[in-house]
Amino acid sequence: MRRLLFLFAFVPASVPALLAQDDTAAAAPAAATAKAKTKVTVLRPQGSYADLAEAGFDPTSLLTGGGAPPKPFFELRGTIENLAKAEGDTVLLDLTRPFGLNLAQTAELVRALQHVRGAGKKLVCYLENAGTTQLQLAAQCDRVLLAEMGSVDFRSLALSVTHFKDALDLLGVEAEMTRVGDFKGAVEPFVRSSISPGLKKHYLDMITSMNDEVVRRVATGRKLSPAKVRELQGQRLFAAEAARAAGLVDALVPYDGAERALQQELGSEDVELVDAAPKKARKQKDLFSMLAEMFRPKRDDADDSDADEIVVLHLAGAIEDGVAGSPGNIVSGPAVEAIDAVAKNAHVKGVVVRVNSPGGSATASEAVRRALLRLAAKKPLVYSMGELAASGGYWITCIGKPIVAEPTTITGSIGVFSMRFQAGALMRRLGVHTDVVGLDESVEMDAIDRPWTDSARARMQTFVDDVYERFVRIASESRKLPPDALRAIAGGRVWSGAQALQLGLVDKVGGLDDALAMVRQQAGVKDDVEVRHLPQPKDFASVIMERMFESQANALPLAATADGTRLDQVLGLFTRTDGLLALLRNALHGDDQGTVWALLPLDLAVR
């Protein structure tokens, strides 16, 4: 027989209220401990940065295994500027991920960090293995934390020049040249096995000037004397404790990452890191929508805005003659069209021309300069020099308008040369001989299997002299310097931006913001007017056409090596090759006339 047991409890009416009060009282401490975390904005630069990335996607990277394309540098700079308005009093700068900046870009970020600090933010920097670039940025922070197993490689600036003379001798190829200026080092890599003593001393003076700026940034930020910082550069490598003892960092922290280092610094685990540049949410799209967006034509660079604006017009890469665009270069035809289009745009109230160029063809440089003259006749115009603006890159600034350069900008190099490759020895080894049948001796200037005759060389030298005199004249008129005074600092000599200011080749030391401020003042527009960077990245279809089906004029038939990689990729592994590739393209596809170059010394890389 199943029994059911019922329990009845009689509770006074007042008891539930008491129980409720007890529950509330118990919950109160829990609520107190669950306080909101302190939010700290964190910035983590990563990858390489270009002043203006030409295309967001390079389809050839799928075939060659190339890395991610450069990111837009001025977006990074804008993100740092916005940190001044970030939530909270502290900003974390995490410099542990690999990233690449040139000297001019580093200067821009140094000023941006100083702006954030001036707005009252406390900047905390976390390092693990730091180089000179990281140290310059870290020095702008209130506190610098280094992982206790980390290190610092504080190298001074150095300049490298790659010489090809011995390799050409092995191949049986000779470089013949005519030039103006004893310091026109662009030809030395092809005619000498090592740098000439005079040019070496001149380069040493330039990088000393550039390194002084690096020393100043670190010395000022770390409250050290410049002499002490130079002494530390000489020692170069520092383990963590040695870096702290030298004053390069403030404290050592466990190798547990940036977040835990910040928690230790703030003495609290209640810290929430907020990314300074949050990733945009991806929208799900069907295949047809994606294809339509990929192949949708981009808006016209010069005509897609209906509001007043200031344009930053980027001229980057080697300057070459041509009518079809070439990624990474300034090709005269498309460049002139783009400049003229900006000149016609009524909404553009002023222009900053941002130059990052080693120079190139003298005729192409003149075509671009003439277009900029037309633009300057219609709009306020100021130049901003980036990493380098030398030779042809300086030629295009010679229109009498203000020039702003970074202290570490490589500029000047007012000099010209002509060069060709003659492969007579190589052809003889291969058993190949060419006969030239012509009406006079001048036609032999085109023969690739024999040197120039004395008369041919003399004619080519006259041609080069004429171009050099034009360079001197336009630079003299632009800078309002007597021709003789200009010649004393020309002759192919390269200068740092700081040296160029003292010599009168530029007007001001500073960055893009300084140039923008000058243009705004000339144009009489407010500070909040929109600033637009041109040219805009190309649409996917255009990139496909330019990169995968580029014209024969811009291709290198010798590009494929044994393992299938491209010649320019191989060369790019060890130094900059803008000018070298321009010379090779001209040698392989050039016309019968000699090309006169206003080109920076080849493969000149300052690190």
Q: Which of 63, 65, 49, 66 is nearest to 544 (CA)?
A: 63
**Which candidate, 411, 341, 389, 337, places its Cα nearest to that of 367?**
337
Contact (CB, 8 A) for 414 and 435: no
For the whole model, what pTM was predicted? 0.85
Q: Where are the domains of the chain?
A: 38-155+236-275, 301-606
Q: Provide the 10 A C-beta neighbour count for residue 428.
A: 12
**What's the pLDDT score for residue 538?**
58
592 φ, ψ (degrees, to nearest 5):
-75, -15
Architecture of domain 301-606: Alpha-Beta Complex (3.90)
| Longest Cα–Cα distance in the chain | 134
Q: CA 26 → CA 36, 204, 246, 390, distances in Å?
A: 20, 74, 53, 74
What is the reported pLDDT for 593?
Answer: 58
Q: What is the pLDDT of residue 63?
A: 43
The four Cα atoms 357, 361, 363, 367 give a dihedral, to 10 degrees, of -30
Low-confidence residues in the chain, pLDDT < 70: 1-35, 54-67, 184, 278-305, 537-577, 588-594, 601-604
Query: In whole angstroms, what is the distance from residue 365 CA to residue 353 CA?
Result: 14
DSSP summary character for residue 38? E
Enclosing H/E stretch for 55: none
Name the DSSP letter for residue 237. E
408 contacts 160 by C-beta, under 8 angstroms: no
The per-residue pLDDT for 603 is: 56
pLDDT, tens only, 462-483:
989 999 999 999 999 999 999 9
Q: What is the pLDDT of residue 286?
A: 52
Q: What is the CA radius of gyration of the chain?
A: 30
The CA-CA-CA angle for residues 295, 296, 300, to 5°, reads 125
- Residue 404: is it exposed, middle or buried by C-beta count within 10 angstroms (0-12/13-18/19+)? buried
What is the pLDDT of the chain when averaged over all its residues? 83
| Phi-psi domain of 404 (left: phi exceeds 0; alpha: psi -120 through 50; beta: other) | beta
pLDDT for 415: 92
For residue 554, the model assigns a pLDDT of 44
Residue with tokens 């409890």: 9
Domain 38-155+236-275 falls in which CATH fold? 2-enoyl-CoA Hydratase; Chain A, domain 1 (3.90.226)
DSSP count for the chain of H helices, then E strands: 23, 26
The token pair at 242 is 């040695």
Predicted confidence at residue 65, as pLDDT, reads 46
